Structure 1
Amino acid sequence: MMHIDMKKLVGLFLILFLYIPSLWAQEVHIKFLITSDVHGNYFPYNFITQEGWEGSLARVYSYVEQQRKALNNQVVLLDNGDILQGQPTAYYSNFIDTVSPHITSSVMNYMKYDIGNVGNHDVETGRSVMGRWIRECNFPVLGANIMDETTHVSYLRPYEIIQRGGVKIAILGMITPAIPVWLPQNLWKGLYFDDMEKTAQKWVKIIQEEEQPDVLIGIFHAGKEPRQMGEYLDNASMLVAQNVPGFDVVMFGHDHQKACEKVDNIAGDSVLIINPANNAFFLGDVDIKLTYDQNSLIDKEVEGKLVDLRKTEVSKDFMKHFDQEFNTIKDFVSAKIGEFSTTISTRDAYFGSSAFIDLIHNLQLDISKADISFVAPLSFDAQIDKGDVFVSDMFNLYKYENMLYVMELSGQEIKDFLEMSYSQWINQMKSSEDHLLLLKEERTGSDERTVFKYFSYNFDSAAGIIYDVDVTQSQGNMIHIKSMADGTPFDLTKTYKVALNSYRGNGGGELLTKGAGIPHDELTSRIVYATDKDLRYYLMETIRKQGKIDPKPLNQWKFIPEEWTIPAAKRDYKLLFGAEK
């Protein structure tokens, strides 16, 4: 009979216990998929250009379903806001058919989103539209720093706890607090927006003490690079990731800039930050693998990547399910509203008076009866062709759901406003060979965010006055206003009625505050008229009434000296658009 040495046997078990815990450790794999800044791109079709489109939630859904099958539904699907604005799909449910279920919530419910977050363009639709969308969603929509003015508590859920494979996951949602800089108060009346870092400090402590989650995710509708907007700090996502310990992942958006990297926080821990940019071209894909030993978490691995969905096969089930909604939107945008006698393009708007921008100037002046109008190109490279004009063209003519304001400004404030606008737009030329436009030294793409040093939607020109822009001068000495458009004198001390959009009128771009020197809290008192519908609606109605429009440049302003600026404009035009001006 074989003798068993019990001491050796116990020793062997002790070695196994101490050195081979993996024999009984359990690993759980969870995948987080994130969309951000979808901007109404639910279908693989651009309803503005009326052609096929690479970005869409129909492609996202194909990828999501593949991952759900591969991982036995250990997948968490998140959206980071700005989903209610951009394409006519969202606009139709927001403002045209307000009785049927909102297409955005219907799509998100069909895709089985787990969590949503609020973006600034979602707030821009107004509390009624935003509230309707949130109520119809079968999942929580977060907003820890969206505060109720009366109760001073979060208007929406600050965070949500979800479970996957026995793993406890906490998700904290926030928005950039700079909403009051961009949007009229009537759109967010009764609310205010707290600082992101302060809010995160508060809620992370609560979450850690009361929930003790295995994983903490931040989902923030704010960009990576912080910028001060009046009293508000915009784009504070990186600051939160670095300065508020506890997050495993910070998913962010708003700035439309792809990102996927790891950073260290002040506690020395690694945090994955990820941003899939806009229009559902890319998807954020985060894998978290957790190892447990007898219910104790002993290891956590976090990896992320951006998935290019532009060639992903469209979900046939998705398209079949939303076939009726797709056709309804297609019929809506295909309705004729008028006729243009010539083709107009925003390309011309960067180099002088243009038919595209001056059409909006004329319509703003006609609608508001103001003395002067301010307008910037809202789309980098938009064109409306000669001939029949359709509802779809109106989303090219005017990209956002801004209201129309009339504000009282002095002649000096008008000049100073334009000085700042052109200083961000125009390079100070030292010789005839210099660039006319103020461009980035390293240009990585072909849109306004990668070409221009500043955002082109802040390149306001004026109508109603005759002026020159001297490109050899710096801010303060560039603008030379000669007269009003009718030839009467322009007076720096006189008060004028100025038509402009609500984004600008609320301080967006800081042309009124930093440029004209008007305190932000004084802007509201300067507003003497505001429309109750978005500017695109009034532009559409005006074109319908007039029937045939003959867009032409007003030629009320120009760059000087022309012997420098005209050749420079031709060079820069070719640089930007690859064609001759």
Structure 2
Amino acid sequence: MKEKLIILETSDIHGAILPIQYGTNSRTDVGLAKLSSYIKELQQTDEHVLLIDNGDFLQGTPLAANYVRSNQEEAHPMVKAMNHLSYDAAILGNHEFNYGLGVLERAARDADFPFLSCNIVNEEEEPFLGCPYIIKEFANGMKAAVLGVSTHYIPNWEKPDHISGLKFLDAVESVKKWVEYIHRHEQPDVMVVSYHGGFEVNLSNGEWIERKEKGENQAYRICTEVDGIDILLTGHQHRRMAETVNGVTVVQPGFSGESIGQVTLELAKGDGRYIIESATPHLIDAKTLKTDQDLIKLVEREERDTQRWLDEVIGYVEGDMKIDDPLTVRLAEHPLIELINRVQMEAAGADISSTALFHNGSPGLPNQVTMRDIVANYIYPNSLMVIEISGDDMRRALERSASYFSLDHEERPVVNPKFIYPKPQHYNYDMWEGISYCIDLTKAEGSRVVSLTHQGEEVKSDRMYQVVMNNYRAGGGGDYFMFKGRKVLKEIQTDMSELLARHFKKHGKVEAAVNHNWTIWYPGK
């Protein structure tokens, strides 16, 4: 007897329910409400459907941020939407921890489905939230197991108090242990692993695309070192993939609901159990789908409150703080970066600061500034930390940032492919205030910082300096390992978007200005 099982995967939705771009309120072809129509259609026409979210769903849009800021009496809007769609399970992604354990645990209580992760454990090494896997048994007796696993690199990014009491075990070793356990004790017909992580190698040629010892992404090792896996759902890298790797069917559906991953299994029953005869992976593009108006109505009140918050006028810019070309912003000082660094220094009482232009869609700030303009530029729920670093740490950090650039065949600066593939990492290039420095792009990586001074004196390798930066960077995020474990002098718990808003409300009008404390040199400049 032939049977069909459809496995649907969303991943890295990042709070995107509605098909809009909040910075401009323009319509887009992304979001869970676009995918919802397809999910419902399959659920209504085929009883053998397994619906899994692969993580990073609680954070990422103003809708999600406004819920945490002002309205935690009801369920998180993403949880409401996922309950509405009858998700079978969701995996814990790294961004689930951004708002702290209280918000995450509340979301887990409100969800009609379990949050899974076999390698995030408490101090007794029991799975956090109690769920490493689920077994779904269908009316015909077919059994599918879904094991959740998260990138164990989370402690390199997250605030320590947001993951207090938790351990993050190696993903590959944890999958080996639990897949063996599930096969022995549950005997499923289909073994699905849903991993909030991506691939550490280029699948076209097998070359490593990150350091072997890093461990942020381990999907290739899972496919090649763990026996007994039929399907591997992946994410985290925001890539779009539908592949077969070492006999394991793999999908990854991008981010923000731009597509949904699907694996269609054909099974036949024999010897008392179902055997997989074929597994076909593919992606369904949100552009081809209708918007589910019922899902939009479900979060209508939360969206209305969010829009009111975003439209609040908080101050004015005198001069030009808009962004036309993000590469230009990173090659020469821009008033927006200067402003962010100045606000960080003001909030922390520090005289050195670093920050990034977080994404290439940053529009800068218009003359009349609303909260919408702030969150369009500062997209993460970062708070600030003042850490003590050596002059050597500072120089190595600047060299890390300087590696963001390459020179093309005409010796013009372009973005180093390492910061684009497999996942864009524009947020890992920092610009500093409170020091003066020059970077020469004609030099080899690691020796591009040709001058570095603080208060008119050369920065000394063994001297200690106090620097304010966001919590992600202070923890070593973005491979800024020189900051990890450094002495923390102060923490400012208020989100940077709120600190920027307060700055405008306090001063009313902010001048668009730069002080030219750093230079990027390249031929032809």
TM-score interval, smaller chain: over 0.9
Q: Shift in Å at residue 481 of structure 1?
A: 3.3
1:314 to 268, 291, 296: 291
Query: Which position in structure 1 is the counterpart of 2:258?
Result: 281
Give, in angstroms, the shift of residue 363 of structure 1. 0.9
Higher RCO (C-alpha under 8 Å, 6+ residues apart): 2
| Aligned residue number for residue 204 of structure 2 | none
CA change 1:298–1:106 in 2 (3 A) is closer
Structure 1 residues 333, 49: CA separation in 2 closer, same or farther (over 3 Å shift)?
Answer: same
Residue deviations 1:28-56 (CA, integer Å, cap 9, x gap): 21111110000111011222322112111
- 1:494–1:538: structure 2 CA closer, same or farther, 3 Å change rule? same
Name the counterpart of 1:573.
none
Contact 1:468 1:559 in 2 (8 A): yes
Q: Quote the Cα distance in structure 2 between the aligned partners of 1:161 and 1:453.
A: 32
1:195 and 2:170 aligned: yes
1: CA distance between counterparts of 2:501 and 2:159? 22
Partners of 2:396 and 2:276 lie apart in 1 by 58
Partner of 2:205: none
Gaps of 5+ in 2: 202-208
Q: Is the 8 A contact 2:133 2:148 kept in 1?
A: yes
Residues 12-43 of structure 1, C-alpha deviation per residue, up to 9 Å, x if partnerless?
xxxxxxxxxxxxxx122111111000011101
Secondary structure class of the residue paired with 1:507? coil
Superposed CA offset, 1:112-153 (max 9, x none): 11111110011122111111111110011101000102x111
CA contact (8 A) 1:48 1:88 kept: no
1:82 aligns with 2:56: yes
**Helix, strand or coil at the partner of 2:86:** coil
Q: CA deviation at 1:510?
A: 2.2
- In the TM superposition, what is the alpha-carbon distance from 1:435 to its structure 2 partner? 2.5
Shift of 1:490: 4.2
Contact (CA 8 Å) 1:407, 1:497: kept in 2 or not? yes
Contact 1:48 1:87 in 2 (8 A): no
Distance 1:512 1:299, change over 3 A: closer
The one-letter amino acid paired with 1:478 is R
Once the two structures are TM-superposed, the CA of residue 375 in structure 1 deviates from its matched residue by: 1.2
Distance 1:416 1:323, change over 3 A: closer
In structure 1, which of residues 87, 91, 107 is the aligned counterpart of residue 65 of structure 2? 91
Work out whether residues 239 and 423 of structure 2, in 8 Å CA contact, stay in contact via their aligned partners in 1.
no
- Aligned residues: percent identity? 27
Aligned length: 513
Asked if 1 retains the 8 angstrom alpha-carbon contact of 2:321 and 2:334, the reply is no
Tell me what 1:6 maps to.
none
- TM-score of the superposition, structure 1-length normalised? 0.84
Whole-angstrom CA distance in 2 between matches of 1:348 and 1:456: 13
Q: Is the 8 A contact 2:330 2:431 kept in 1?
A: no
CA contact (8 A) 1:379 1:396 kept: no
Distance 1:200 1:467 in 2: 46
Q: TM-score, normalised by structure 2?
A: 0.92
In the other structure, the counterpart of 2:160 is: 185
CA distance in structure 1 between the partners assigned to 2:116 and 2:26 by the alignment: 34
Is the CA contact (8 Å cut-off) linking 1:425 and 1:454 kept in structure 2?
no
Q: 1:550 aligned to 2:520?
A: no
Cα gap change, 1:319 to 1:337, in 2 (>3 Å): same
Task: Tell me which amino acid in the other structure corresponds to 1:200.
Answer: V
Residue matched to 1:530: 491
Alignment partners' CA distance in 2, 1:189 and 1:110: 31
CA contact (8 A) 1:145 1:193 kept: yes
Segments of structure 1 that go 5 or more residues without pairing to the other structure are 1-25, 265-269, 442-447, 567-581
Shift of the 154–453 alpha-carbon distance from structure 1 to 2, 3 Å rule, reads: closer
Say if 2:366 is the partner of 1:365: no
Q: Is the 8 A contact 2:143 2:189 kept in 1?
A: yes
Per-residue CA shift, 1:531-566, capped at 9, x if unaligned? 1232222222222222211222221111235xx242
Q: Any conservation in 2 of the 1:147–1:192 contact (CA below 8 Å)?
A: yes
Which of the numbers 506, 509, 513 marks the counterpart of 2:478? 509
Read off the aligned partner of 1:479 and give its amino acid letter.
V
Larger Rg: 1
* Equivalence for 1:344: 322
Matching residue of 1:444: none
Who is 1:419 aligned against?
399
Mapping for residues 405-484 of structure 1, pairs under 5 Å: 405-422=385-402, 424-427=403-406, 433-440=410-417, 449=420, 455-481=425-451, 483-484=453-454
Paired residues of 1:354 and 1:554 also in contact (CA < 8 A): no
Indicate conservation of the 8 Å contact 2:189/2:273, yes or no.
no
Give the counterpart letter for 1:333 in structure 2: L
Q: What residue is the counterpart of 1:46 in the other structure? A: 21
Q: 1:230 to 1:90 in 2, by over 3 A?
A: farther
CA–CA distance in structure 2, aligned partners of residues 193 and 512 of structure 1? 18
| CA separation of 1:50 and 1:295: change in aligned 2, threshold 3 A | same
Does the residue aligned with 1:364 lie in a helix, a strand or coil? helix
1:370-385 equivalence runs, <5 A? 370-385=350-365
The answer to whether 1:222 aligns with 2:197 is yes
Aligned pairs for 1:46-125 (under 5 A) are 46-71=21-46, 73-125=47-99
Output the CA distance in 2 between the equivalents of 1:259 and 1:454: 16
Give 3-state SS (helix, strand or coil) of 1:105's partner.
helix
Matched to 1:376, the amino acid is A
Per the alignment, in what secondary structure is the counterpart of residue 234 of structure 1?
Answer: coil
| Equivalent residues of 2:231, 2:248 under 8 A apart | yes
Q: Distance in 2 between matches of 1:489 and 1:29?
A: 69
| Structure with greater proportional helix content | 1
Instruction: Label 1:425 to 1:407 Cα distance change in 2 as closer, same or farther (>3 A).
Output: same
Query: d(CA) in 2 for partners of 1:229 and 1:153?
Result: 30
SS at match of 1:106: helix
Structure 1 counterpart of 2:224 = 242
SS at match of 2:420: helix
Aligned to 1:206: 181
